[in-house]
Structure 1
């Protein structure tokens, strides 16, 4: 009986290395540009509210939340939540991340299809993440291919969520850069720095998707190597 951490695990190593690099890159890039003040002298909260107002989204709230890089947009209560550094900060990083989260609010208002799809997949992905490994482990150790296959199907939902997340995040960053440049919240010479911040953040999603896809391929290989008793 093959072991779960057999030679197929080697195929995950490049994606794991990419994931480690992505985490390092986003934190180092954020730390660097958190120390660079934007020339307009405005805070992340101010730019978020101004972009929302410019896009007719006065019903979307902007709130401060604790944590580092805990920024997100909650479509359930139409709220952009920014970590303290990005809510109060006047750095290029603060404006970039605030604009990115507002990008999600704009997506929501425009009924952006990939975002709508991600919301629809989320419950399945959450269940899949919780159940898949238990089913896969049970199927593997008892050599019951039915359980293993069920686990793969549940895990596929989580993989699909990771893949759908990519266009959502790329598009939000594109909208953020468009708003920051179009309304001159950042000067032209500051825009490359904002792009670096958002590209570093995007790399974490690419790495997560790569790990998930390769893990799915690995599980399919293991499934094909099983034999029912």
Structure 2
């Protein structure tokens, strides 16, 4: 009886060892596959096909207007709102020939982040309604309601009365797993509205990472002139 039990025990040990080796190989292959995918499918932000993106900071809202060069059949949403696919955080074109798309949401909606009086969000522009693919876009949006230190503000000032003193749009990656880059293009303004125009940027700059600031010069008390300065000219 012992002679029968001993070979069976040895056989069980061999099976367990083979099974363990197979699992280790599968785990190793999965790790290599995952690493290869992460290196291959890094998606950078692109403004290709976009004519302009406008951000308007309301007293308690963000309004985003997208205009594309060709009819747009994808979706636009704030990061973190894709799976719910509900307005106002997720919008899609009403027609197949539409070249404009608008999104308007309150500052306490759609995963908007608040840092004091600075509000920020990320809007993703996805060409395929289901998947993030190369060529998609994302823009970091900022509405700045911070007051200068030398400006006296009444303590009872209502939220509905406030006006943003700054706004900013930055091109970023639509893929949340991609680290932010220092070379992304930004447009910022000292008003409550700012516009990102790729063709304008490409025509005036030969490098990435330029911050454009819209400055307003007042001539006397009547006339105002707005122009754009590059960061190294400020």
Structure whose residues are more often strand by fraction: 2
Structure whose residues are more often helix by fraction: 1
Give me the TM-score of the superposition, normalised by structure 1: 0.24
Higher Rg of the two aligned structures: 2
Q: Which one scores higher on RCO, CA 8 angstroms, separation ≥ 6? A: 1
